[in-house]
Amino acid sequence: MSFLELITIVVDDYDTAIKFFVEVLGFDLVDDSPSLTNDGRRKRWVVVRPPGAQTGILLARADGDIQHAIVGKQVAGRVGFFLRVDDFASAYERMQAAGVVFVSPPRIESYGQLAVFLDIAGNRWDLLGRQMAKGSDADVPAGT
């Protein structure tokens, strides 16, 4: 058996990123342990993941000019992360109320409901709801 265990998102600050992923997106904080860089400097090993998911996100604090330059640009401005939720309307409304920046209004595509948002670092994510029958807009938030 194989599965993708972790992906890395480079962030400016551990605690700000933890707050966003745990309090705003509802992820679980799986690990937050002291660690060391390869050359012996202090860092933290911080892993978050959606409840029930196997794949987690390693939140890595930017270290040096090259890493600081890619914060929020890890996939060159494209959507690089995809969060599937059971209740799109509730997730969208909760995230909006928490101040999450959405760069596109909700819409329906063949693969499900969709709205693009920015994470704490500025990376683009798709918020994805369930696939719906064509012409149905039952779970798209009001005013969209």
Write a three-state SS string for the chain.
Answer: CCCCCEEEEEECCHHHHHHHHHHHCCCEEEEEEEEECCCCCEEEEEEEECCCCCCEEEEEECCCHHHHHHCCCCCCCCEEEEEECCCHHHHHHHHHHCCCCECCCCEEECCEEEEEEECCCCCEEEEECCCCCCCCCCCCCCCC
| Whole-prediction pTM | 0.87
Partner residues linked to 49 by β-bridges: 28
pLDDT tens, N- to C-terminus, the chain (144 residues): 999 999 999 999 999 999 999 999 999 999 999 998 888 899 999 999 999 999 999 999 999 999 999 999 999 999 999 999 999 999 999 999 999 999 999 999 999 999 999 999 999 999 999 876 555 555 555 444
Domains of the chain plus CATH, in order, are 1-71 (3.10.180.10), 72-144 (3.10.180.10)
